């Protein structure tokens, strides 16, 4: 089975400017470190807050977050690229 990637192998995806909802979701994921947000119906939820499914999966597709399947429920966790994108943006 071939994996379909939106960008060629070996080249990173083009950086996307962060809109306010994406920045808010990244801040929520950063506060939820190291546990992340557990998958629920319609999104991801944890002690730090809630991220809807569309925003969470968009972050995953951009490489700013990842899904961790090691526990009982899949968890959305911020990546190093997500933390650096959050730092590069406008002040909190």
Residue 16 has pLDDT above 80, yes or no: no
77: which residues sit within 8 A by CB, 6+ positions away?
29, 32, 33, 34, 36, 37, 65, 66, 67, 68
**Cβ-proximal residues to 85 (8 Å cutoff; 6+ apart), any chain:** 15, 18, 26, 64
More confident residue, 51 or 5: 51
Q: What is the pTM of this model?
A: 0.78
Confidence of residue 6 (pLDDT cuts 50, 70, 90): low
Distance CA 4, CA 79 (A): 21
Token duo for residue 45: 């939820």
Helix (H, G, I), strand (E, B) or coil at 41: coil
Mean pLDDT over 63-75 rounds to: 93
In the chain, the percentage of residues whose pLDDT exceeds 90 is 70
């Amino acid at each position: 089975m071939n994996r379909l990637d939106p960008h060629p192998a070996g080249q990173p995806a083009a950086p996307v400017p962060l809109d306010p909802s994406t920045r808010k979701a990244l801040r929520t994921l950063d506060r939820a470190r190291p546990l992340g947000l557990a998958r629920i119906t319609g999104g991801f939820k944890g002690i730090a807050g809630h991220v809807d499914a569309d925003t969470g999966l968009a972050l995953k597709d951009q490489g700013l977050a990842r899904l961790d399947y090691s526990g009982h429920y899949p968890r959305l966790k911020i990546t190093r690229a997500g933390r650096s994108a959050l730092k590069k943006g406008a002040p909190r």
